[in-house]
Structure 1
Amino acid sequence: MSNWSVDYASLNATSSSLKVSNPVGFEASALQKHSKSDKLNRQAGNADRDDQHQVALKVKRAWDVAMGPAKSIPMNAVMIYMSGTSLQIFTVVVTAMLFFNPVKAMMTVQQTFSRFESTGAAKSQPGADLLQAKLAFIGLHFVTILLGVYKVNAMGLLPNTASDWLSFIKPKEILEFAA
C-alpha cells in the first residue's frame, strides 16, 4: 500500500471557489441562441458548401490521376535512349511496354475515373464533369505510344519507304555503317 494519497473531494471544492475571468476578445453575446429557422438555413448552406467542397476535391483528385502518365514519359524516354537501336530482347521488351501499357490503361479509363464521379445533385454542379481529365489521361498515354512509334522507327522496323512495300523497287543502299 502506498504512503500517500490524493483527496479528490478537496480539489473539487477549491476549483469551484475560484472565479476564472473570460479570455481576451471573448464576447458573451456570441453565445446567444438562434432561432430554428436560422439553424435550418445555416445547415442547408453548410450542406451546399460541403457538396461543393466534395465535388472540388473529387475533381482535384481526378486531375492528379489524369496527370499521372506525364510522370512516366521522361522515364520512358530515358529507357528508350538507354536500350539502343539494335534488335535485342531488352530493346524489344522496352518497346513492347511502350505500346501495351498505355493501351491497357486507355481501355480501363472508365474504371479508373469511376471513383471520382459525382452522384445525385452534386453531378449537376459546375465543374463536376470529368471529361477533360479523361481526355488528358488518354492524351498523355497517346504520347507514350508515340514514343514507341519513334523507337520502332529508330530500330528500322517501321516500313516508311516505297521499297518496303513494293518488291520491284530496290531497297535504299546504305553507303556507310558506323562501327
Structure 2
Amino acid sequence: MSKWSVDFSSLNASNSCKVDNPIGFEPSALSKFDKNERTYRQLSQANRDELQVTLKVKRAWDVAMGPAKSIPMNAIMIYMSGTSLQIFTVMVTAMLFFQPIKAIMSVQETFSRFESTGKAKTLPGADLLTPKLTFIGLHLVTILMGIYKVNAMGLLPNTASDWLAFLHPKEVLEFAA
C-alpha cells in the first residue's frame, strides 16, 4: 500500500445512511408528489388529453406574449440612440426590422411543439390561431416602432419631392431651438 492511499473497506455502509435531512427539506413533499402521480394515472385518457391541451395552450400563450417583454426595451433603445445617422442608430433601427421579420417567418416552427395530435386536436381550446396572431401582432408593433424611428431620422420618403426630381424639396419655415 502506498503512502497516499485510503482504505474505504473500513467504512461501514450503515453509518452513511444516517445523514440528516437538509435544512428546509420536508419529507411530506414526496408523499404529495406520489399522490399527484397516482391521481394522474387514475384519470381517463380523455381527461389526460384535456389536461395536456390546457397545459400546451398555456405554454403557447407564454411564448406568444414573449415579444411584449421586449417592446419597452426597444422603445428605450430608440429614445437613447437619437435621430442622427450614426452606426449605433442604424444598427438599432435594423434590429427593429430584422428580428421581428425573422420571428414572423418562423411562427409555425415556434408553435409546432404546442400542437396537439390525435383526438386531442379536436378538443375545444386546442386551436393555436389566437396565440399565433398575438405573436405576429406584437412583432408588428416592433416593426411599427422601427418605421417611426426611420421617419424620425428623416429617412422615410413622405413628401412628393422625395420621389420626383423636378419638384423642389419642402422648405422648413421654423426651427425649434
> Do they fold alike, i.e. is TM over 0.5?
yes
Deviation at 1:49, TM superposition (A): 1.4
2:74 is matched with which residue?
Answer: 76
The aligned runs of 1:8-157 (5 Å cut-off) are 46-157=44-155
| Alpha-carbon separation, structure 2, partners of 1:163 and 1:74 | 35
| Alpha-carbon separation, structure 2, partners of 1:148 and 1:84 | 13
| Alpha-carbon separation, structure 2, partners of 1:176 and 1:127 | 57
SS, match of residue 166 in structure 1: coil
Larger Rg: 1
- Give the aligned residue type for 1:95: T
Deviation at 1:103, TM superposition (A): 0.3
Q: Once superposed, which parts of structure 1, at least 4 consecutive aligned residues long, lie more than 4 Å away?
A: 176-179
- Give the aligned residue type for 1:109: V
- Give the aligned residue type for 1:82: M
2:165 is matched with which residue?
Answer: 167
Deviation at 1:48, TM superposition (A): 1.6
SS, match of residue 100 in structure 1: helix
Deviations for 1:106-158, whole angstroms, at most 9, x for unmatched residues?
A: 01101100000000010010000001110100010000000000000000000
| Alpha-carbon separation, structure 2, partners of 1:87 and 1:79 | 15
- Give the aligned residue type for 2:126: A
Number of residues paired by the alignment? 138
- Give the aligned residue type for 1:101: Q
How many percent identity over aligned positions?
A: 78
Unaligned stretches of 5+ in structure 1? 2-41
Deviation at 1:169, TM superposition (A): 1.2
Deviations for 1:56-108, whole angstroms, at most 9, x for unmatched residues?
A: 00000000000000110111011000000000000000000000000000011
RMSD: 1.7
Task: Report which stretch shifted further, 161-170 or 88-97.
Answer: 161-170
SS, match of residue 60 in structure 1: helix
Deviation at 1:47, TM superposition (A): 2.0
